[in-house]
Chain A
Amino acid sequence: GIQVEQSPPDLILQEGANSTLRCNFSDSVNNLQWFHQNPWGQLINLFYIPSGTKQNGRLSATTVATERYSLLYISSSQTTDSGVYFCAGGITGTASKLTFGTGTRLQVTL
């Protein structure tokens, strides 16, 4: 099956700093999603981004499908950005099953 590797595993930022999270896939995927798990455990979908670039406020994501990786950019980080960021990938048409990475744990400090 698909292997998903995320880096870095842990990240500590001061409020206002920028960061880039990376996700590598062992095989091609055409269903790629980024999620944020807040400190209370809730999983929120950030992006559905099988290719190209998307932006949503201070967050943006870029997927280079041919090279099997995706990047999540967080700009001007805030304490509310803390939590764990997961990427997940799969193949459309197969019930949209996703394989998750082990996540990047982000802590934003004042």
Chain B
Amino acid sequence: NAGVTQTPKFRVLKTGQSMTLLCAQDMNHEYMYWYRQDPGMGLRLIHYSVGEGTTAKGEVPDGYNVSRLKKQNFLLGLESAAPSQTSVYFCASSYSMSSGSSETQYFGPGTRLLVL
């Protein structure tokens, strides 16, 4: 049981380049989330999903897009990276209908992104 995994762990981009961050969970969770963490700050919600095929905006969605084509995967895309998107990105998941689990959020190890 790997929990929540993220790919890649670290990436350097030039301004204007695009990339996709992949999040995968094997806990059959319904809800998935993408957060960013900047120095000295807590986590801020970028986008989230309440199920396969659904996505919604969080607190700081501008400059990002997401997709959830499969229940276990949640992709975060940067179409044209900017230095302001330099951050650590965390994926999380919660809530399994089949097991009736609580809304405890489980986090991946994070992706460190540097945009030059």
- Tell whether A and B belong to one assembly: yes
Residues of chain A whose beta carbon lies under 8 Å from any beta carbon of chain B:
1, 4, 31, 33, 35, 41-45, 48, 86, 88, 92, 95-103
- Given A4-B42, A86-B43, the answer on whether A97 and B107 have CB atoms closer than 8 Å is no
- Given A95-B31, A95-B50, A96-B95, the answer on whether A31 and B103 have CB atoms closer than 8 Å is yes
In the complex, A72 Cα to B20 Cα: how many Å?
37
In the complex, A19 Cα to B41 Cα: how many Å?
22
**Interchain Cβ contacts under 8 Å between A and B, 18 examples:** A1-B59, A31-B103, A33-B105, A41-B88, A42-B107, A43-B90, A43-B107, A92-B103, A95-B48, A95-B49, A96-B95, A96-B103, A96-B105, A97-B58, A98-B45, A99-B59, A102-B40, A103-B42
| Nearest opposing residue in chain A for B49, CB measure | A95
- Whether A100 lies near B105 (C-beta < 8 A) is no
| Nearest opposing residue in chain B for A96, CB measure | B103
Which residues of B lie under 8 Å from residue A88 when comparing CB positions?
42-43, 105
- Which positions 57-106 of chain B face chain A at CB distance < 8 Å? 58-59, 88, 90, 92, 94-95, 102-106
In the complex, A97 Cα to B41 Cα: how many Å?
17
In the complex, A41 Cα to B43 Cα: how many Å?
12
- Whether A42 lies near B109 (C-beta < 8 A) is yes
- Given A96-B31, A96-B94, the answer on whether A102 and B41 have CB atoms closer than 8 Å is yes
| Nearest opposing residue in chain A for B35, CB measure | A100
